[in-house]
Structure 1
């Protein structure tokens, strides 16, 4: 995974009335509640547009405003028409909003450091109309591992791990046993992907009471991959842009009812990777070597 659902938090309300110290039972003068969160440093009643744009939550709005202003000024200087400049600025802001919406992800915010996961997720969305269902960023219980994308559809069940590698280093293989990225042997990464798929297969099979095979894969972004699909250490390896074709090229083996049953079982046994740790440690999956 590159660099897997979102968790919901709840407020624990306390209905117990406050106990005031001393003999005086009156609560005294009311106090305005203190602000919390990113805007805690901003005085109440003085929240300005500038303070909002400086909030990290509104970083995309700041970028959009700067982009629109830049486009508007350039067009105005070139065409000497403020109306055309304003129109161009509005169009630029709309285009940026559309692009941002297309990049939105169901993966939690602290996991979105991986552009590879976002790109794979965007591709998999196009499979929904063909009857495929996908779970993103699902944890393997009792480990730090996760499956980036679990895909269930007419052609089977797939575990897709997305990787973004340095494009300057070549990808090469030695037979069906070794994968290299430049001088780096990716044996551990392949073992991890295979182990994750095996765990998902066992958990889902136990939940449904029948055997479910989960096919492991590694989708690589960055350097060119000199093959379409190559199975290395039982893991299908391919270029990230090939993920949809890799899934749909197989024969149909599952009915809509089976897809729905497997999807619901996977939801139960593979919990979402909740954003409780903003800097998750490297995955520990035990002894995965063959």
Structure 2
């Protein structure tokens, strides 16, 4: 198998939404620090830069899953898993909580909650529990909002994980393996059946099973098994035993 070049590895890392967010945090800290340094001296400037970075880390941690929460499936993941079990009789196989390797030497903190492989293709489903008190809306299939919160980063993250999985699986099975990213949302009412936003399918969590039904068959049973076996080896469990 062809080893990834340093250029391709670097490009994959820079495409990681998490790395882009940290890069902007660092830039914001430096800009704030320089501005205060010019006005009030380097000591205060350094303090402000550190406070900007720490404040952004705290803000993101409150909006994201904590490390402890990643040690076991969430309630939303379990609800989706229960729905997907019934698809096995229709030729679908599912891998839950799979890590997304960045390259052959390491694993990113990306995770696909449910990788579904079946006659109609391959799907990366992420299960999300959102505050039911806040409405969900879209703008021109390009923006997704939960109340006042723009979910662009979450959609970009889901799309990046699917793209990485697609590339990794294609290398191992020898043919193109498109992986469709999607987000199953529990909590708030979703005013549509399935909406594609920034190339990510978005729908109510209780429609996860229906989302996969009535789609045209594009993979043979042999294709499904080859992709499944490749995914078992290439995408390690996020929750190791």
| Structure 2 length-normalised TM | 0.68
**2:151 corresponds to which of 186, 194, 201:** 186
Instruction: Give distance in 1, aligned partners of 2:173 and 2:70.
Output: 32
Rg (Cα) greater in structure? 1
**2:92 corresponds to which of 115, 125, 132:** 132
Deviation at 1:248, TM superposition (A): 1.5
What pairs up with 1:1-290 in 2 under 5 angstroms? 110-112=71-73, 114-141=74-101, 142-275=107-240
| Structure 1 length-normalised TM | 0.56
CA deviation digits over 1:105-157, x for unaligned, max 9?
xxx99313x11000000000010111100000000112101000000001110
User: Gapped runs of 5+ residues in structure 1?
Assistant: 1-107, 277-290
Instruction: Give distance in 1, aligned partners of 2:236 and 2:147.
Output: 35
Kept in 1: contact 2:71–2:239 (CA 8 A) = no
Kindly indicate which of the two structures has a greater share of residues assigned to helix. Answer: 2
Kindly indicate which of the two structures has a greater share of residues assigned to strand. Answer: 2
Give the RMSD, CA atoms, in angstroms: 1.5
CA deviation digits over 1:42-68, x for unaligned, max 9?
xxxxxxxxxxxxxxxxxxxxxxxxxxx
Displaced runs of 4+ in structure 1, greater than 3 A?
A: none
Kept in 1: contact 2:72–2:239 (CA 8 A) = no
CA deviation digits over 1:232-271, x for unaligned, max 9?
0000000011111111221011111111111001111101
Instruction: Give distance in 2, aligned partners of 1:274 and 1:246.
Output: 26
What is the number of residues matched between the two proteins? Answer: 168
User: Gapped runs of 5+ residues in structure 2?
Assistant: 1-68, 102-106
